[in-house]
A and B are shown apart, each in its own frame.
Chain A
Amino acid sequence: MNNGHTRVATHITINERLVFEEGSAGRRGFNLPELDVPTKDVSSLIDSALLRDTIPGMPELSEVDVIRHFTRLSTWNYHIDLGLYPLGSCTMKYNPRINEKMARLEGFALAHPFMPAELIQGALEVQKTLEACLAEISGMDAVSLQPAAGAHGELTALLMIRAYHDSKGRPRKKVLIPDSAHGTNPASVTISGYTVENIPSNKRGTVDLEHLRKVVDQDVAAIMITNPNTLGVFESEIAEIAEVMHSHGALVYMDGANLNAMMGITRPGDFGIDVLHINLHKTFTTPHGGGGPGSGPIAMKKILEPFVPYPVVSKKPDGTYAFDYDRPQSIGKVKAYSGQFGMHVRALCYILANGPEGLKEVSEVAVLNANYIRARLKEAYALPYDAPSLHEVVFSDRNQARKEVRVGDIGKRLMDYGFHPPTVSFPLIVPGAIMIEPTETESKQEIDAFIEAMLAIAREAEENPDLVKGAPHSTRISRIDEAAAARRPVLRWKPE
């Protein structure tokens, strides 16, 4: 069938020192136009005590040096254009090139946030349109695009929840968080001035409704729930959970990390959620950039709208757009200006490329792909929870651990097969968790190759566990002594 085809072959990459170790004095990568105003000694304008002479250690390079340096570095990265990137909860999907092109249009890339309204109508329309799309997709009434990332959206929503309770007379004290939640949830709670109360999952891996009924009282401000949860399982009692919370005057926050499972299928606003954040860099294909920039808009019900960060984009009766700063109950600003606008352009471009049928198909195929992987790997890898999976599936390393092969080893060995590892050791409720999210942008061939690699590794774990435990064997570096790196941290280059 494969005519001897194997997925990987070795390939030369070029070593490169730090940029500070390259170059030589006198090289230039940049020239300014000639100065066209009268020249002066700068120290006649600024006291020389305020001026520096040199920047020790800063390298001098030509344009070619810079291109070579960063091009060489780039070849050391795995990336989504190279192949399947099965990081659960991260939704690593193809980033359409048209998004990039549109965000770079001069009218967007060079727009200044403090321009008079008549000169930024295009940007404001993009934001307003994206808000409307996100509101419809999530079933909510209003959207704020200001938060810079998912965790920032969480914080923003919690501050609004607090402002809401304050407006009712009392901020309340605590926020409930299931033990399967992302670590950002409790960390955001701390900054919002609430305390965290963890609640255990039940045998299905979902929120224990009976336990919840016992712990909700008038001191609970909200619950932070992830749906589908971090096991990829839909919280089938979500409407009842919301009812319990609402009956005590508490609100329901949803971590929207897993929205890719439900577009056009079901909507948070229709199952009782009051506010959620949406990761544009997951579901809506804005690139991950090697760790940011992300974008974490929040969508909310009407009751929270008065507290939304200012400014708000408003459409005037004459059809023009403007920033509205007059928001007396607003929590304030969570970021200067109005959010990661470049990401807003990309996300809107993606939504418009798909339309209603396309977005539904996205979720359908994402769920199909995850379930296909589940079906084909469930013999080789243990499935700790057998509730139906949506867009991701969580296995554990229980079978392999018998030979002392752990999830981290399995992930590292996948590199030798030409794949990025899945999310490992998360969620915390599954010991040795292997969390796989293929997304919809993978072909059956690519998914099959991944499955074959996982099956091969399961066999290796039985027959030659040391091979897996010593992986990766074919990357440009082997495993790193992380403990040593943390013991004596070297966080910058210094001249010898």
Chain B
Amino acid sequence: MENNNDEKVEDKVMNVIKTGKIKLRSRFLFLLEKLGIGGAVAVFATISALFFCLVLFYMNATDHLQYLNFGRRGIFAFIESFPFLIVIAFIFLLAIAGFILKKSDFLYKKHFGWVALGLLGVIIILGTGLAFTSLSEKIERHTFDNRGGAMFMHPFLDQGLQPRSHGIVGKISAMEGTTLTLNTPRGTETIDASAINTETLATIKIDSFITAVGERQNTIFKALDLRIADENRMPMIHRGIDRKFPGIPRTDARCLDKQRECPFR
């Protein structure tokens, strides 16, 4: 019985081979498949590195890290301004690259954990390397100028300029007692600085670039703590203000020197 079945399977398989119903897949197809898989991993890993670079850029160019200077009071603003979307995109792309790698023959008899760690290392190094170039600034400029393919980056970068419930950054354009008018990337905003001590308020003048933590109450931001900030440490915020209020003179050293590339031009 067993032998009969054996012959049956052999006959059936050989029959479809002999009649040409199934053919050997060409070596070229396998090569193409491997190149395709390798290419897909490379593409996803590169985009993932780009997003890692954007995470670094975002943290460096927005108010996000500045809120840590306020201690516990700045925690909410810090969490609020965290680039969740960019980080999620980075992890998602990394996971896709890892998944493709796992499904490919590249992992043959290798520990996935080590390979994944290697992939993460390469992506972080590449992303950090990209952070030293002006790529992120170019992406930002193209995004907010709505130029080319960078437009789809809006959801990721907009968060850097969006209003926050517990923090605010901007340039003072008017002062009236403890009420400050602030130029921000979204337009002018009013700050109630009545809770700020007079010594700190005395150091503030028009054109000061400030960071404040507190609470948004309808159209007014009630500041609980306030610091004068270095405008060049938050270039993305400053460029946002420039776009909203053109003509504000730049103090960035790179912009004063005509020989150098000014990221704000």
Task: Verify that A and B bind, or say they do not.
Answer: no
Interface residues of B (CB under 8 A from A): none
